[in-house]
Every structure is written in C-alpha cells, then in structure tokens.
Copies of this chain bind each other. A is one copy, B any other.
Amino acid sequence: MSADPALRREIPDATVARLPEYLRTLSRLAEDGVLSVSSEELAAEVGVRSAQLRKDLSHLGSYGVRGVGYDVETLALEISRALGLTEDWPVAIVGMGNLGHALASYSGFVTKGFRIVGLYDDDPALVDERVVGVRIRPLREIVDHHQVDPIAIGVIATPAPAAQAVCDALVGAGISSILNFAPAVLSVPEGVDVRRVDLSTELQILAFHAQRKSLAAGDLRSAVVAP
C-alpha cells in the first residue's frame, strides 16, 4: 500500500546533498513559530533557486499544497524520513587528538539522530579519559564493541599516515559507513561508503578563487596574448 517515493525512487546525489540544508532551515523556521513556507521563501533562506528546491522535494513525494506552500512541520518530518534521521545512528570516533575532541563535543552531533557510542585512540596518554561521558578505548576493542552494541558510522580523525590502517580496522569490524577527516585517499572494498572532509582542500579552493580575484582586479601583464 505505502508508495513512499523516498524508499523506491532514486534520489539524485545532488539532491541528497542539499536536503540537510533544507532540513536545518526548516527546523529553524519551526522554532520561530513559522507554520508554512512557499518554495520561494525557503529557497531564498537556503540560497538556491525555487525551481531547484521544488524539483528536489518532488523526489521525496508531493508534500506541498498548490496556492499555499509547504507545512513546515510536515516537510521537516518527510525530509528527516528520507534521510533516515527518524532512526538513531550510533557513531564512533577514532583519533582523539584536537580534532577528535572537537568533533566529540560538537553540538551538531547530538541534535538529530546521531549519538556517540565509542571513542578510540591507541595513545596510552588518552586511553581511559572521558569525553562527553564516553571513555576513550584502544582501537583493538572496537570489534567486540561493534558486536555488543553496533556502530553505524565510523569517523576517522587521525593523522593521514594512520588513516588507512584505521579504516581497515573499521571495515574489518563490520562498519560500512566512514567519514574521513584525514587528508588521505582510503581504499575500501565494494559496498563501503566513504566521505572525506578536508580542511586544506577547502583552503586551496578558496586560494584559487582569491588569486583569480586579485589577478582580475589589478593585473595587466597578460593583456595581449595570441591564442
């Protein structure tokens, strides 16, 4: 009977990447007591075109009302369902240096569906320390841990040279969704999903655009060049 398109149809990756933004904005609107939004208004808040927003939402189903707009609560719930945030996602962080500590205490973590169940580091100076109520353990314990209390997502926050070994350990333990903060390309078997977040990549992209701006502004050197 249920014909929930989120579970049957293919949702384009580009759309999935924008859904969290829509959801965040809708949550803020809901807190402010807003009951209904048009695609025009919501798109303006998020910074996309209204047509794009409508097409994105159309992949989830038909939750708007013509002539009126979208009910904020309903739409937020449907996006949550499409993203899988109505269930709970246990997360483990490996590498409890500065970044690991920052991630563990990051407030955005707990807000929606994510819950830290494990913190790992092999440095004896860190083991047994408690962060946000969770004790840091050596990585080798992750296999048992995962069997007792399954981990859905592993976060790698180690230095680059250790990343592949940590990744292998996570995969070996049976974890198939990995968020990698180390500046390294991980090789994983089929079926394992890796996303990478890299600070220096982002800085380099910014530098590229900054360079273009400064060249466009004040540079006359290469004004006349034959093709």
Residues in chain A within 8 A of chain B (CB atoms)? 2-4, 7-8, 11, 16-17, 19-21, 23-25, 45-47, 82-85, 87, 89, 91, 97-99, 101-103, 105-109, 111-114, 152-153, 159, 176-179, 183, 185, 187, 191, 193, 195, 197-211, 213, 215, 219, 221-222, 225-226
Least distance between A6 CB and chain B CB atoms (Å): 9
**Minimum CB distance partner of A227 in chain B:** B3
B7 pairs with A200, CB closer than 8 A: no
| Contacts A179-B203, A221-B2; A211 near B84 (Cβ below 8 A) | yes
Complexed CA–CA distance, A20 and B201 (Å): 6
From B84, B97, B178, B202, A195 is in contact (CB under 8 Å) with: B202
A106 touches B99 (CB 8 A): yes
Q: List 13 A-B contacts (CB under 8 A).
A: A2-B221, A16-B205, A21-B185, A83-B211, A84-B208, A85-B204, A89-B203, A99-B106, A101-B102, A112-B204, A114-B207, A152-B207, A193-B209
B204/A20 in contact, CB under 8 A: yes
If the complex has contacts A153-B206, A222-B8, are A21 and B201 also in contact, measured as CB distance less than 8 A? yes
- Give A202 to B109 CA distance when docked, in angstroms: 11
